Structure 1
Amino acid sequence: MTSAASGDRAAERARGRWVLGIDVGGTGSRAALEPLDAPFGNDRRLLEGGRVAVASAGSTVLDVAAALVEATTREWPDVAITAIGVGATGLASLVSAPDAAIGRFRAAPDAPVPVALAVDALTAHLGALGGQAGAVVAVGTGAIALGTDLDAVWRRVGGWGHLWDDRGSGVWVGIEALKAAIRTHDGVTTDAAALLSAAESRFGPAPTWPGELLTRADRAGVIAGLAREVAALAADGDAAASAIMRTAGTEVASTLVAALDPELPRRASWTGGMFGAAGAYRDAFEAEFARLAPGADLHAPLGTPLDGAVRLARLIAAGDVPAQHPPFVWR
């Protein structure tokens, strides 16, 4: 065989054996493209995408995911993608008939097939536990836990939206900070001056908040951004911020423990941006988990939700993907 022919075959193998993982969250989205024949995580190519909006017509999550597929094929037009896995926030609650939307990805020029759409809790699980059975809580803009063995057991806890759920999440912390701040603004309390100052620095004067925040389709992600300032204030010893972060940590622990179905191993992990907040948040989370689930194995995540989306794509390419199991995964 000539070196030219060998090079042509190598190029064809590289072109035909790529997988695409997409992670769509409340504050942004990402895509990871990597060769199937390389070790997991090697030669990965990354793209950033847009933020999800939620309005009366539902969520734009599939539009965001489809835009990332198109952006990937534009960025690397010579790569033929073998399979795609999407993990998306709100897929089960805010998108009607996700299975029907799979055709959008297959119909696009050069789109990868087969395709699987999954709730973000599943790709978070695949990332944190690497395919092992157990429970994982994902805490970013929202908060959701999933206990599963990827076969017979599927237990969801949380993730029902920021108006009455998403306990301990970024948007929950942001809302609690705004509640405390507005009480101090109104003179009902005096303990949240630092939170009021942080919120006004981010969103403007308190009287403008209804017009600035309640009218936004992406308000969950916008409000969740305040959690960074709350965490920083807690780290500096602010009492009101520390109380919010401690409560958030305990709420997340209770969500995770509730996902530990009796049919699953007592194995658990976590993922998501909120776990970047150390101190009061992490301390409260770990202490409450130990109290509620003595003897359970709580260990650091093996990877991120984006890693989980890539793992999902690899499972699809290998024919090992979990069977279609609404409302967790659609194929």
Structure 2
Amino acid sequence: MTVPGDGSDRSDGADCARRFLAVDSGGSGLRVVVGEVGRRASGPLVSGEPVRTGARGIDAGHFMERLVPMVRSSVGGAGVGDIGTAVIGAAGLATLGDELRDALPGALAREFGVRTVALVADAVSAYAGALGARPGAVVAAGTGLIAIGTDLAGWRRADGWGHLLGDCGGGAWIGRSGLEAALRAYDGRDGGSGALLRCAEEQFGAMTGLPGTLYPRPDRAAVLASFAPRVAACAPDDPVAAGILRAAARHMAESAVAVCPATGEPQVAVTGGLFKMGGPLLVPLDEELAKRLPHARRVAAEGDPLDGAVRIAGDLAMGALTLPGDDVMLSVVTVKGRGDHF
């Protein structure tokens, strides 16, 4: 990935103001890039351990425990030196980010000399990676689902309420719907799918044991989402599975409509691991988007949330950030010294 800049290829060492740290933090762990504006950044370092959450939300201390060794490793164990800009994209920031907002700017300043910190909801970094600073809407779907849109004056979001209250059309939603169809077939009720029942028994064992297997799990959403690929695999030959994916596509399109600018020529993109399902999901989704958002243009996502964090870092370091600021979705903090910020 290349960070926006003047394209210079200097070899006299990184200037603090041009050096950046970009982080994507989510349920699968951390991905980290340390780079310099205008130069191609090396591939990310990856840690599979997610950051803990506590009484005040995402644990800032544990975040730094995970981050610091990764940053030092990225520069080969040498002194890190001062980093001018840090962009932290974090899942759950909008609702669980109080401790990060309070503690992280000072911690990054003390550890790396960071002067400017952007705390970014993962939906915003996904948007920036997919569309950059253009008006439109992005549907981000993996285990969960959220849609985010902007007219470059403010942000709008839809869904992202978690697998018990929402995330309609996401991986956990599809998996749960597939397992419900399997249980309907097991009971002999209408709406069941014998194909999905066979898949469920292969993956989870006897259906009578499924509630006891599923309900106590703290990672219940991920377990439900693990069944979504089986739904997609059945869809070409099973009308019940195909119907579940069509319903998922409708939910996604509804969320996109809720956040997409109603005027102009906005762009719409999708991003996230769920779309690796391919045609069984993407074909009905394209049909729904064309029907519901005729004024918008469907485009391929340019990059992922880490690419978005890198893009924001480059724009911020160059004083060229045009994405709208927001206390919850995208907030920028200037640090006065090694630990004090305003």
TM band (smaller chain): 0.7 to 0.9
- For residues 204 and 57 of structure 1, the distance between their equivalents in structure 2, rounded to whole angstroms, comes to 36
CA 49–200 in structure 1, closer or farther in 2 if over 3 Å, else same: farther
- For residues 85 and 226 of structure 1, the distance between their equivalents in structure 2, rounded to whole angstroms, comes to 34
- For residues 107 and 199 of structure 2, the distance between their equivalents in structure 1, rounded to whole angstroms, comes to 42
Question: Which deviates the most, 199-208 or 225-234?
Answer: 199-208
Number of the residue aligned with 1:126: 128
Is the contact between residue 130 and residue 308 of structure 1 (CA under 8 Å) also seen in structure 2? yes
1:125 Cα offset (Å): 0.9
Number of the residue aligned with 2:108: 106
Number of the residue aligned with 2:67: 69
1:252 Cα offset (Å): 0.8
Name the TM-score, length of structure 1 as normaliser. Answer: 0.83
Is the contact between residue 50 and residue 64 of structure 1 (CA under 8 Å) also seen in structure 2? no
How many residues were matched structurally?
318
Correspondence list, 1:136-215, <5 A: 136-150=138-152, 152-189=153-190, 191-215=192-216
Is the contact between residue 16 and residue 84 of structure 2 (CA under 8 Å) also seen in structure 1? no
- For residues 184 and 105 of structure 1, the distance between their equivalents in structure 2, rounded to whole angstroms, comes to 54
1:110 Cα offset (Å): 2.8
Number of the residue aligned with 1:46: 44
Is the contact between residue 271 and residue 301 of structure 1 (CA under 8 Å) also seen in structure 2? yes
Number of the residue aligned with 1:269: 269
Is the contact between residue 27 and residue 221 of structure 1 (CA under 8 Å) also seen in structure 2? no
Number of the residue aligned with 1:226: 227
CA 296–323 in structure 1, closer or farther in 2 if over 3 Å, else same: closer
- For residues 181 and 53 of structure 2, the distance between their equivalents in structure 1, rounded to whole angstroms, comes to 27
Is the contact between residue 53 and residue 59 of structure 2 (CA under 8 Å) also seen in structure 1? no
The secondary structure found in structure 1 opposite 2:148 is: strand
Number of the residue aligned with 1:85: 87
Name the TM-score, length of structure 2 as normaliser. Answer: 0.81
Question: Which deviates the most, 292-301 or 62-71?
Answer: 62-71
The secondary structure found in structure 1 opposite 2:161 is: coil
1:140 Cα offset (Å): 1.4
Alignment deviations for residues 66-96 of structure 1 (CA, whole Å, 9 cap, x no partner): 4552232231333444322122222212344
1:228 Cα offset (Å): 2.0
Q: In the alignment, does 2:289 pair up with 1:289?
A: yes
CA 239–53 in structure 1, closer or farther in 2 if over 3 Å, else same: farther
Correspondence list, 1:235-274, <5 A: 235=236, 237-262=237-262, 265-274=265-274
Number of the residue aligned with 1:5: none
Identity %: 36
Q: In the alignment, does 2:312 pair up with 1:312?
A: yes
Is the contact between residue 22 and residue 65 of structure 1 (CA under 8 Å) also seen in structure 2? no
- Aligned residue identity for 1:234: A
The secondary structure found in structure 2 opposite 1:174 is: helix
Is the contact between residue 175 and residue 226 of structure 2 (CA under 8 Å) also seen in structure 1? yes
1:284 Cα offset (Å): 0.9
User: Which 5+ residue runs of structure 1 have no aligned equivalent?
Assistant: 1-8
Alignment deviations for residues 288-331 of structure 1 (CA, whole Å, 9 cap, x no partner): 11111113211111111221111122223223445641221133
1:108 Cα offset (Å): 5.7
Alignment deviations for residues 153-184 of structure 1 (CA, whole Å, 9 cap, x no partner): 21111111111211111111111112222222
Question: Which deviates the most, 47-56 or 268-277?
Answer: 47-56
Is the contact between residue 17 and residue 84 of structure 2 (CA under 8 Å) also seen in structure 1? yes
User: Which 5+ residue runs of structure 2 have no aligned equivalent?
Assistant: 1-9, 333-342
Is the contact between residue 172 and residue 221 of structure 2 (CA under 8 Å) also seen in structure 1? yes
- Aligned residue identity for 2:92: G
1:11 Cα offset (Å): 5.3
CA 222–107 in structure 1, closer or farther in 2 if over 3 Å, else same: farther
- For residues 234 and 55 of structure 2, the distance between their equivalents in structure 1, rounded to whole angstroms, comes to 37
Is the contact between residue 18 and residue 36 of structure 1 (CA under 8 Å) also seen in structure 2? yes
- For residues 116 and 54 of structure 2, the distance between their equivalents in structure 1, rounded to whole angstroms, comes to 31
CA 48–230 in structure 1, closer or farther in 2 if over 3 Å, else same: farther
1:112 Cα offset (Å): 4.0
Is the contact between residue 84 and residue 115 of structure 1 (CA under 8 Å) also seen in structure 2? yes
- Aligned residue identity for 2:308: G
- For residues 106 and 252 of structure 2, the distance between their equivalents in structure 1, rounded to whole angstroms, comes to 35
